[in-house]
Amino acid sequence: VVASAGGTDEERQAVLEAIHAWNATPSAATGVVLLPVPWEVPSGAETSDREVLRDADILVGTFWTRLGTAGEEVDEFRKAGKRVLLYFSDAPAIPSRVNREQYGQLENYRLQREGERLAEGYGSVGELRAKFPQHLATVVRDLHAASPEPATGRAGPAKVVAERGSSAPPRARTAPARA
């Protein structure tokens, strides 16, 4: 599942492009296919956010100026033993357009997750484009190596959830899975 909040549209596109690039190249070597599913547009009319998270194997989060309720969802995902990749934008924000309380919550969450080695900052979308594919490849390979192979000898696709992040103005376990 791939989702983003306002202000992180370019980051969302970078994540999607990296997933599609994975499917074009490394996927052939591992047999793992990543299926991106937009979080805010569930695959079925009755699918809730919780069902989307339950069925995903990897959560990718991009944040800029606010956390919202995403922290709770990320924490639940982690408690289920699933992999999380969180990215926090270091791009400057316009103070008059940022809710300082929400920004403070985001910064506290970021510091906690960086301390747990679950998060990294990025200064530009280009930097995220360079970091994310490497991190994704490592996580998918780790998950693929840890899971039993299906009887056919090929692994099923891996799911990825990309988390909603900010609202400010712009500046996997394997088999079967979705991205």
Q: What gap in Å lies between CA 128 and CA 160, rounded to an integer?
A: 17
Q: Which pLDDT value is given to residue 147? A: 72
Q: Which pLDDT value is given to residue 2? A: 66
Specify whether the CB–CB gap between 174 and 158 falls below 8 A: yes
pTM of the model: 0.78
Q: Which pLDDT value is given to residue 42? A: 42
What the block records as the tokens of 63 is 């944040």
Q: Which pLDDT value is given to residue 151? A: 38
129 CB-side CA count, 13 A = 9
Average pLDDT over residues 98-116: 92
pLDDT band at 159 (very low <50, low <70, confident <90, very high): low
Specify whether the CB–CB gap between 119 and 63 falls below 8 A: no
Q: Which pLDDT value is given to residue 148? A: 65
Strands (E), the chain: 34-36, 58-63, 83-89, 119-122, 158-163
Q: What gap in Å lies between CA 137 and CA 96, rounded to an integer?
A: 39
Which tens digits make up the pLDDT trace of 22-78?
888 877 777 888 987 666 544 444 556 667 778 888 989 888 998 877 788 788 888
Greater confidence, 144 or 116? 116
Q: What is the mean pLDDT of the chain?
A: 77
Of 132, 128, 161, the closest CA to residue 22 belongs to 132
Torsion sign, CA atoms 77, 78, 80, 82: positive
Q: What gap in Å lies between CA 100 and CA 57, rounded to an integer?
A: 33
The most distant pair of C-alpha atoms in the chain lies apart, rounded to whole Å, by 57
Tokens 């370019």 -> residue: 10
pLDDT band at 108 (very low <50, low <70, confident <90, very high): very high
Specify whether the CB–CB gap between 39 and 159 falls below 8 A: no
Judge whether residue 16 has pLDDT over 60: yes
